[in-house]
Each structure stands twice: as structure tokens, then as C-alpha cells.
């Protein structure tokens, strides 16, 4: 095992903590508050942010859409250049945070910023970012990843740079009270699949990463359904919020093999058909587990036993049961798991494979064993 680990994002956790952002952003900063479609204006978060920054010089950019677009982000870059903005505050979910990360890099980029995604051009500088998280799901609030879409070409591509890692993130679970049930479910499923992409590979003996991952899976399985049954239970909301952050902040993935094939297929499904990010993951993951059951056998059996308490001795039957339990868990938070639930059919398979090929994603997974043929078969089986 070999890794270096640092997570420089300061987490400010708890109720009423939005007020503290005034101490995190330099007094002299020209701040651009970046947000999405306006939910923060209806639920009081906008007001809390405005009150907290009453002594700062503040500008605003709204309209970052779910699955943030390059086109919208570039309008923010123009505003930044016009007003010499030097600090970005993202107030929203993964889309607003990811959009802000791209904006932060693009504002300092020499050349065509889309190259950061399309050609993996290096990000050498970026504006500092702070975050007020409104939707626990992606982990974007304390990682260095961002996923941005180009609308005119149906591209949805990730980039990573330590330069765009947020300086701080406020996690006040009160803000999740206005989330529609669909977005709550998205958050639970996205966090769960993030853990799975880093855990369900092969046996490597890194016990700390495994046990932390299993702790997060247990928490999501226990408290995911409870957030619907007990919407006023703040502890449940706080557990989910912290789980989602911990699921993708570098800790459980340090020094271990990682998969991410479910995510890459899912991103293409979103780019082509507009499904929410987590909706695509719930469709792909069970079939990917099934398709890779030989390569992942040892870890699938560990998952079956430790997460679901499956005692079946026949290995294949135990893996079948673990996959069924996984799908049933998604259903328990009202998350559909089939393409046909969205009126999509097996034509999706060829269309997604064409996109994967165009994006060079022809050998996915921890052992580069998810070929285009396997991706096609996974999607055909997901109808």
C-alpha cells in the first residue's frame, strides 16, 4: 500500500454554521456568490449567506443548472473578469459546486478552458472557493473533482485538480429539510455508489479503508430510508450529510484500487437522456456487479457477509443475494433501478457505447476489464 493523504478543506459542521462564513473569507475579497435555479431564495439559505457577508463586497451569479454546463460557466467567467472577482462562494449541491470549480479554473486559464475537460489540460491556478452545501450527495464540497457538460456536443466529462479543492465547506443539515424526496434519494444513492466504486474491487488487505467503507455503507442503509420515515429527525440528516462527504473525500480511497465504471456509464446516460446522476447509478450498479462477479468475487462475498449478513455457502447464490439486496435498498429509498422505468429501451446500449468509445473509455474498472462489449451487455441487461 502506498499513498499520501491530505484533505485541506475545513469542514464547518452543524446547525447555524452558515453565519461563520464571514470569518473564512478574507475581508478584502471581492466575492462572487454562485448558485443554481433559485431554491436558496425560497428556503432562507440565500438570506443567511447575505446576512453573513453583509460586511463583504459581494456579487452574484445565478442559473447554474443541474449537470452544470460549460456554456453557463463561461458567462460567470466573463463576470469575474469584468469585476476583478477574487473569491468564489458556491451555494448549492454538486452541480453548483462543480460548476464553480470549473469557473475558478477557467478564470485563470490561458487558452480554451474546455481543454481542461476534453484534453486533460493542466490546471495551474484557480480562484479560491468556499462552499455552503445544500444537498448531501456528491462529496464535491471537500474533494478536487468536477464534472461539467458541453450542451452542443452531449459531452459530460470529469476533471480533477487540487487547485479547485474548496478552502472550507459549511455542512448544516437543516438546509436539507427543503429537499424534494427525489433529491434526498439521489443523495443517498450517490454516496452509496461512491463507497462501492472504491470498495468493491479485489481483495487487497487494506483493512482500515475497507472497514471505514463498510461503516459508511451501514450508515446509509440504516439512515437512508429513515430520512423519509422520520423527516424531522436531525440526527438522521446529519448522519447522511457526513456520510456523503466522507464517501468521496479521499479517505476510503487512499492507496486502494478503484473502479468508477458505473459512474462513467452513468455520466453518458445523463448526457444523452438527462436522467439525474444518481438515477443512472442505481440502474447500472446492480448489472455491473453481476457482469464482474468473477473478477470481484472475493470482495462481493465480503460485502455479502459484512453488509447484508448473508450466510449462504454457495458463492454464486450468495453473490446473487447481495445484488438483490443492493437493488432492494435502492427501492427502499424510492429509487427506480431499470431503464424502462424512464421509458428507455435497449437502444440506449449502443448509443452509450458509441459515446464511451468517443471519450476513450474502452477499458474501465479497477483492472481495465470493463470493455465496450461488457458495457453494452450491462446496459442491455438494465432495461
Q: From 96, 100, 102, select the one nearest 134 (Cα to Cα).
A: 96
Compose the 111-140 pattern: x for residues touching ligand NZQ by CB under 6 A, - for all others: -----------------------xx-xxxx
Q: What cell does 4 get?
A: 499520501
The reply on whether position 157 binds ligand NZQ by CB under 6 A is no
355 binds, among ligand NZQ, Zn ion, none (CB under 5 to 8 A by kind): none
Question: How many residues form the binding site for Zn ion (CB under 5 A)?
Answer: 1
The reply on whether position 93 binds ligand NZQ by CB under 6 A is yes
Contact 199, 258 (CB under 8 A): no
The reply on whether position 22 binds ligand NZQ by CB under 6 A is no
Please spell the DSSP secondary structure of 96-145, one letter per residue. Answer: HHHHHHHHHHHTT-SS-TTHHHHS---------EEEEE-S-SS-GGGSSE
Min CB(367)–ligand NZQ separation in Å: 21
Question: Dmax of the chain from CA atoms?
Answer: 66
| Neighbouring residues of 180: CB distance < 8 A, sequence distance ≥ 6 | none
Candidate list 183, 243, 249, 355; residue touching ligand NZQ; CB under 6 A = 183
Q: Stretches 53-61, 89-97, 287-295, 360-368: which one binds ligand NZQ (CB under 6 A)?
A: 89-97
Nearer to Zn ion, 62 or 143 (CB): 143
Candidate list 141, 155, 190, 327; residue touching Zn ion; CB under 5 A = 190
Candidate list 25, 52, 105, 175; residue touching ligand NZQ; CB under 6 A = 175
| Neighbouring residues of 304: CB distance < 8 A, sequence distance ≥ 6 | 310, 312, 318, 319, 321, 322
Min CB(314)–ligand NZQ separation in Å: 34
| Neighbouring residues of 115: CB distance < 8 A, sequence distance ≥ 6 | 121
Tell me which residues in 185-214 interact with ligand NZQ (CB under 6 A).
186, 190
CA distance 109 to 72: 17
CA distance 142 to 305: 31
Burial 8-34 (b: 16+ CB within 10 A, else e): ebebbeeeebbeebeebbeeebebbbb
Contact 103, 144 (CB under 8 A): no
Nearer to Zn ion, 190 or 366 (CB): 190
Contact 68, 40 (CB under 8 A): no
Tell me which residues in 252-311 interact with ligand NZQ (CB under 6 A).
263, 277
Q: From 132, 129, 127, 141, select the one nearest 46 (Cα to Cα).
A: 132
Min CB(103)–ligand NZQ separation in Å: 14
Q: Stretches 128-136, 183-191, 314-322, 341-349: which one binds Zn ion (CB under 5 A)?
A: 183-191
Tell me which residues in 309-348 interact with ligand NZQ (CB under 6 A).
none
Q: What cell does 219 get?
A: 450508515
178 binds, among ligand NZQ, Zn ion, none (CB under 5 to 8 A by kind): ligand NZQ
The reply on whether position 143 binds ligand NZQ by CB under 6 A is yes
Candidate list 58, 89, 96, 247; residue touching ligand NZQ; CB under 6 A = 96
Nearer to ligand NZQ, 39 or 219 (CB): 39
Q: Catalog residues that contact ligand NZQ under the rule CB under 6 A.
A: 36-39, 43, 66-67, 92-96, 98, 134-135, 137-140, 143, 145-147, 175-176, 178-179, 183, 186, 190, 248, 263, 277
Q: Catalog residues that contact Zn ion under the rule CB under 5 A.
A: 190
Amino acid at each position: 500500500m502506498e499513498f499520501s493523504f491530505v484533505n485541506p478543506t475545513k469542514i464547518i459542521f452543524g446547525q447555524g454554521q452558515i453565519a461563520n462564513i464571514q470569518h473564512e473569507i478574507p475581508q478584502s475579497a471581492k466575492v462572487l456568490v454562485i448558485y443554481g435555479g433559485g431554491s436558496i431564495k425560497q428556503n432562507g439559505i440565500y438570506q443567511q449567506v447575505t446576512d453573513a457577508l453583509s460586511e463583504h463586497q459581494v456579487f452574484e451569479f445565478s442559473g447554474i443548472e443541474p449537470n452544470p454546463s460549460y456554456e453557463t460557466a463561461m458567462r460567470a467567467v466573463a463576470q469575474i473578469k469584468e469585476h476583478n472577482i477574487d473569491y468564489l462562494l458556491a451555494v448549492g449541491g454538486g452541480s453548483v459546486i462543480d460548476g464553480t470549480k470549473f469557473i475558478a479554473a477557467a478564470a485563470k486559464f490561458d487558452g480554451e478552458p474546455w481543454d481542461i475537460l476534453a484534453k486533460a489540460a493542466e490546471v495551474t491556478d484557480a480562484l479560491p472557493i468556499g462552499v455552503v452545501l445544500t444537498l448531501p450527495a456528491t462529496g464535491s464540497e471537500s474533494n478536487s473533482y468536477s464534472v461539467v457538460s458541453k450542451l452542443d456536443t452531449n459531452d459530460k466529462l470529469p476533471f480533477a485538480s487540487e487547485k479547485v479543492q474548496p478552502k472550507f465547506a459549511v455542512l448544516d443539515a437543516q438546509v436539507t429539510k427543503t429537499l424534494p424526496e427525489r433529491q434526498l434519494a439521489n443523495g443517498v444513492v450517490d454516496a452509496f455508489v461512491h463507497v462501492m466504486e472504491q470498495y468493491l474491487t479485489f481483495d487487497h488487505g487494506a483493512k482500515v479503508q475497507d472497514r471505514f467503507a463498510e461503516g459508511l455503507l451501514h450508515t446509509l442503509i440504516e439512515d437512508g430510508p429513515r430520512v423519509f420515515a422520520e423527516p424531522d429527525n436531525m440526527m438522521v440528516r446529519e448522519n447522511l450529510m457526513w456520510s456523503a462527504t466522507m464517501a468521496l473525500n479521499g479517505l476510503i480511497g487512499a492507496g486502494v484500487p478503484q473502479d468508477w465504471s458505473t459512474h462513467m456509464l452513468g455520466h453518458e446516460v445523463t448526457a444523452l437522456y438527462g436522467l439525474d446522476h444518481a438515477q443512472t447509478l442505481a440502474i447500472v450498479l446492480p448489472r455491473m456487479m453481476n457482469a464482474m462477479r468473477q473478477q470481484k468475487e472475493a470482495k462481493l462475498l465480503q460485502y455479502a457477509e459484512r453488509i447484508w449478513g448473508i450466510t449462504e455457502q454457495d458463492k454464486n447464490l450468495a453473490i446473487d443475494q447481495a445484488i438483490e439486496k443492493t437493488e432492494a435498498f435502492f427501492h427502499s429509498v424510492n429509487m427506480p433501478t431499470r431503464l424502462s422505468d424512464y421509458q428507455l429501451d435497449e437502444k440506449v446500449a449502443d448509443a452509450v457505447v458509441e459515446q464511451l468509445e468517443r471519450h476513450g473509455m474502452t477499458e474501465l474498472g479497477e483492472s481495465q476489464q470493463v470493455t465496450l462489449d461488457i458495457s453494452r451487455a450491462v446496459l442491455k441487461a438494465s432495461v
